[in-house]
Structure 1
């Protein structure tokens, strides 16, 4: 059972069949914090109020099922791209919003929503993991960490496969602090290839309550850097020792 205060939202387990929980005209740090602590996320639609969802089924990435192809593992072992945390959050979310993707038009990350995620970052709840080649940002991912649970929001790349590298390093870092899974909301073909899958809403909320009870803290908050190959090598050694 989730033991977080609920001032703004109805019980998300009573959402409509499409997952809609609530609508609002405005955003705030308080709304975002409460929504994520209850597994609810904003999904703006053009010419509509802000819509808040808790879909059934729900996409998750279980770290015990995280899959890397042989060719990608080989790439990671020799990848000297640099990993940084939270050094350019604004650039990451802007790239996620505006980078053109094959077969897609528009973005769900509106200017209004983007501005509030930037505030959420400055408040310590939204985070970016960035992939750099020398001094050029070539890919990244951002997400939200609230009450011991991480929700991945969006990722981008300017050089392949930088977004996949960002996701892999994120999983490694989240495992280090004791997390066993992350919320991905929807399972895209890309995330499915890494092991993403859907679970029933009821099971999702059981997992969320368990994650909150563990009270894990997201430690790699300060800007720091390390090569991808170094991070992956340490992760591989630890897994072998287990």
Structure 2
């Protein structure tokens, strides 16, 4: 297992363990975070543990150019129940992602250090948020890291039914309109699969990530 020092370096992703763990330690400086994401690596750990860096063998993704919105969700969007904005309140989105209660999950990996680090990325133009509003109140949203050709989704929240799903669809529409190659959802979960995400191998993911043409 690679132990990170003060040097900005990660080993090749194919050195990750079977579970996908690649390295331990380091910090959440914007330089290290951007190096990680541009090399197919992301942080994910308990707030009370050293930082764990991951590069799983299977990657959950969405192809924006071939995504089909589920009919039931399209009907919800067409009813104009929500207003969606981009980068209107990144700070509020990430704090809501941190504080929202999630089924079958104790606590959150989004520590204060994570909040501060991704707010810094946002100020540098390297992280984006999509906000969902209802009657002037923030009821859902998501945020992630923007690599210019791949968007790395980090977390989403919903205070009313379907709000985060609407944010998800609006993100994909944005990525398609701006010719992004991929939405990276990182690891499998049933909710993402129901929304239309699927797994590809790490090798295929890395080829797409490195192709900035």
Instruction: State the TM-score, normalized to the length of structure 2.
Output: 0.91
Question: Distance in 1 between the 2:13 and 2:47 partners?
Answer: 23
Q: Judge conservation of contact 1:60–1:196 (CA < 8 Å) in 2.
A: yes
Q: Counterpart in 2 of 1:232?
A: none
CA RMSD of aligned residues (A): 1.7
Q: Counterpart in 2 of 1:3?
A: none
Which whole-Å deviations, capped at 9, do the CAs of 1:213-237 have from their partners, x for residues lacking one? Answer: 22xxxxxxxxxxxxxxxxxxxxxxx
Q: Judge conservation of contact 1:42–1:51 (CA < 8 Å) in 2.
A: yes
SS of equivalent to 1:87: coil
**How does 1:1-242 map onto structure 2 within 5 Å?**
7-210=8-211, 213-214=212-213
Q: C-alpha displacement at 1:63, in angstroms?
A: 2.5
Q: C-alpha displacement at 1:187, in angstroms?
A: 2.1
Question: Distance in 2 between the 1:83 and 1:69 partners?
Answer: 18
Go from structure 1 to structure 2 and tell me whether the alpha carbon gap of 1:70 and 1:147 turns closer, same or farther (over 3 Å shift): closer
Relative contact order (alpha carbons < 8 A, sep ≥ 6): 1 or 2 greater?
Answer: 1
Q: Judge conservation of contact 2:22–2:54 (CA < 8 Å) in 1.
A: yes
Question: Distance in 1 between the 2:95 and 2:105 partners?
Answer: 16
Q: Judge conservation of contact 1:62–1:195 (CA < 8 Å) in 2.
A: no
Question: Distance in 2 between the 1:188 and 1:64 partners?
Answer: 22
Q: C-alpha displacement at 1:200, in angstroms?
A: 1.2
Q: C-alpha displacement at 1:64, in angstroms?
A: 4.4
Q: Counterpart in 2 of 1:240?
A: none
SS of equivalent to 1:73: helix
SS of equivalent to 1:198: strand
Number of equivalences:
207
Instruction: State the TM-score, normalized to the length of structure 1.
Output: 0.80
Q: Which runs of 5+ in 2 are unaligned?
A: 1-6
Question: Distance in 2 between the 1:46 and 1:165 partners?
Answer: 29
Which whole-Å deviations, capped at 9, do the CAs of 1:166-185 have from their partners, x for residues lacking one? Answer: 00000000100112321000
Question: Distance in 2 between the 1:116 and 1:41 partners?
Answer: 13
Question: Distance in 2 between the 1:164 and 1:197 partners?
Answer: 16
Q: Which runs of 5+ in 1 are unaligned?
A: 1-5, 215-242
Question: Distance in 1 between the 2:196 and 2:9 partners?
Answer: 34
Question: Distance in 2 between the 1:47 and 1:166 partners?
Answer: 30
Question: Distance in 1 between the 2:66 and 2:181 partners?
Answer: 10
Structure 1 runs, 4 residues or longer, greater than 4 Å off: none
